[in-house]
A and B are shown apart, each in its own frame.
Chain A
Amino acid sequence: MMDSPRTAVSNPPVQPMETNLTPRDLVRRSATAELPPPERQLTPVAKLIDVSKCIGCKACQSACVEWNDTHPEIEENVGVYDNPHDLTENMFTLMRFTEWINPENDNLEWLIRKDGCMHCADPGCLKACPAPGAIVQYSNGIVDFIHENCIGCGYCVKGCPFNIPRISKVDHRAYKCTLCSDRVAVGQGPACAKACPTQAIVFGTKEDMKSHAEERITDLKSRGYENAGLYDPPGVGGTHVMYVLHHADKPHIYANLPDDPKISGIVQAWKGVTKYVGLAAMGVAAAGAVLHGIFGKANKVQPEDEENAEKLVDAAEGRKEDA
């Protein structure tokens, strides 16, 4: 029975259970400088998406909607299979379809990539977030949005190297894949991974997922995909959602998956140097003003100035009267 990798080994519990992801398991918390180190280190987890096994059926989308009780809109057909057309606050994951002609053999390949939060080890969203505790990272690698703390500013959207979070137009909070933190907390895998018919999506410890990926890559190489490989981009410290790609040498062909994602330099500048230099500059300016005020001599109007003014006015009046 266990020859097939699959996410679920048991059905979800219905008896009350303690959650296994608590505030004490946080390793990062947005806009929070002093976070006490966690008492324990959870084993890092990961979702592995084997693009070569994916049949683009959108079961992941369906399961995601059902589990998270979201309500994606019924849009129009615009001549593509990608529906909804983009990630939304009601659609945390999306199959993106690309028709790609392999220049090496002129064969068509239909590349189908499940897009969604990558759960970066170095999360740009969390870095960008100004609201304390709105974005957290657990020691198992899950990056989660705590909606009560979210102010809806959209900074996470700018911070994300993969353009994932979306802000709800209704409650003005940011939404994205939680890696089903509520399920993981009771020992279940994410809804998408559980549903995935071909188990192109699997979930487990990051280490297991990496070794499973190795098997898949070996299989793909045996089928002629010489550049098959794992997408676990170091630019963001690695991710807790990884891809097996048949063409790992060119991730961009998979609906613009970034070749070498990093937190944008602009965002780094904004949340780094600008923040500190800016604060410093403003502080210096304010302090300078105060110091100058205290130690400098105020520019006071002198009695002779008043007299001169009066004279001027009188002279002018005089001219007026003379006229």
Chain B
Amino acid sequence: MSISKDVLPGDAIHRGPPVTVNRYGPAKRINHWITATCLILLLLSGLALFHPSLFFLTGLFGGGQNTRMLHPWIGVVLFVSFFILFAQLWRANLPNRVDVQWVSQINDVVAGHEEKLPEIGKYNAGQKFIFWGMAFFIIVLIGSGLMIWDQYFGESTPILLRRIAVLVHSVSAVLIIMLFILHVYAAIWTRGTLSAMTRGTVTGGWAWRHHRKWLKELAGRGRIDPAE
């Protein structure tokens, strides 16, 4: 059962040396980067309106009026973009028993003692956490964001709800930004990860080290192409 969840269409191993593994195809990578760009733009434009000391960031968008106008539209793009990604990745991110084990050994994770951890499928619990966290906050943000998108929906909700919405929106924004930091940092800290979203491939060693179960499943299912 777990095989079908962990192995996504397009995942494949190229024989080496060195061995490389296709982790994300071009469509997913473009999708990811659109989402990421949107998130960064939202982060910048949102922070500009979040605290006066950051208002200067509106300059990046051509002034306050434009920032106010663009932010919700970028949000809509992000929402759509993210959920196209979501539709493709959610199954691989369903939690399983191994995730519990992984979380219980979080110290080993942080310390880099991966040899002590169980073998991981395509995503570890941390990645899954980020995935679901993103999904959750994006829904919350788009929902609360629509309520305070005064240009179109200003009068469609009562003022109390709008006040709650604005608070929820900013709290969620803070949390998603922290999630974002974690995501970025984890990608950097775990060397070799970035290439998954740039070239679309990781090295066999990376897959062996971090997602051995996924690699084994790929190998087991014969998803191996000859080296170029």
When chains A and B are docked, how far (Å) is the Cα of A309 from the Cα of B20? 9
Residues 282-323 of A, flagged 1 when their CB comes within 8 A of B and 0 if not, give 100110010011001111111101111110110111001000
B154 touches A151 (CB 8 A): no
* B151→A293 contact, CB < 8 A: no
Q: How many residues of A contact B (CB 8 A)?
A: 57
Known: A32-B52, A317-B224. A285 touches B178 (CB 8 A): yes
Known interface pairs A282-B177, A282-B181, A302-B209; A310-B224 also in contact (CB < 8 Å): no
Q: Which of A130, A172, A298 contacts B55 (CB 8 A)?
A: A130
Known: A172-B69, A270-B170, A297-B112. A167 touches B51 (CB 8 A): no
Can you list, as one digit per residue, whether each of B197-228 has a CB less than 8 Å from chain A (1) or not (0)? 00000011111110000011001101010000
Residue A57, interface by CB 8 Å: no
Report A75 CB to chain B, min CB distance, Å. 14
Q: Which residue of B lies closest to A301 (CB)?
A: B205
Given contacts A301-B203, A313-B224, contact A308 B181 (CB under 8 A): no
* CB of A19 within 8 Å of the partner chain: no
8 Å CB contact of B49 from A130, A286, A300, A315: A130
Chain A residues near B162 (CB, 8 Å)? 157-158
A52 to B151, CA, bound (A): 38
Known: A285-B177, A316-B13. 16 other contacts (CB 8 A): A130-B50, A152-B151, A155-B166, A267-B167, A274-B167, A275-B51, A278-B173, A278-B174, A289-B181, A298-B191, A305-B205, A305-B209, A306-B203, A310-B19, A312-B208, A316-B224
Q: Is B17 touching A310 in the complex (CB atoms < 8 A)?
A: yes
Q: Give B156-174 as 1s and 0s: 1 = Cβ < 8 Å from A's Cβ atoms.
A: 0001101110110011011
A-B CB contact pairs (8 Å), 27 listed: A32-B52, A131-B64, A150-B64, A152-B69, A153-B64, A155-B166, A163-B159, A172-B65, A264-B160, A266-B167, A270-B163, A278-B171, A279-B50, A282-B181, A285-B178, A289-B185, A292-B185, A302-B209, A303-B205, A306-B16, A306-B203, A309-B208, A309-B215, A310-B16, A312-B208, A313-B13, A317-B15
